[in-house]
Amino acid sequence: MAAFFYGHDVPLKVAARVYMLCNPRAATLPFIPYVIGSYYSTFYYKCDRHHMAQYYDVSQGTLLWINGRDHFQLEPVVPADRAPFDCRTLRPCSIPANLFHVVYSTMQTLCNEAAFDILEL
């Protein structure tokens, strides 16, 4: 999740806010912004590292690697290197319906953030 936000240049405060809005246990996990921040920090400061994480690039429609800043950033993940995805946590019944209303009701606020300019098309 942090790799997805980082790969799409979503500011840390927006990424943490979206995660907290979408997580039904957010009240019991106040340290989540710090965890996401530690991933961001690792991705940013490990300039010389290759293949730190995989994320789905929405604009290209493919999995890409997050590499250190000194390396090519649009490196596709070859099928043999793809990490297995566990979608069991994405069951619709595991997410309360009212949580979707919270996200949609705050979407306008999120759209005002610089990272979400694309939503104003």
- pLDDT, tens digit, for every residue of 14-42? 998 888 888 877 777 778 888 889 999 99
Q: What is the per-residue pLDDT for 20?
A: 85
**Predicted local distance difference test score (pLDDT) of residue 102:** 54
pTM: 0.66
Structural domain boundaries in the chain: 2-120
Q: Residue 79, Cβ neighbours under 10 Å: how many?
A: 7
Q: Report the SS3 class of residue 67.
A: coil
Q: pLDDT tens across 59-98, in order?
A: 888 899 999 989 998 999 988 888 765 544 444 444 455 5
The answer to whether 7 touches 66, Cβ cutoff 8 Å, is: yes
pLDDT number for residue 59: 86
CB 71, CB 50: distance < 8 Å:
yes
CB burial of residue 11 (10 Å; 0-12, 13-18, 19+): middle
CB 31 within 8 A of CB 19: no
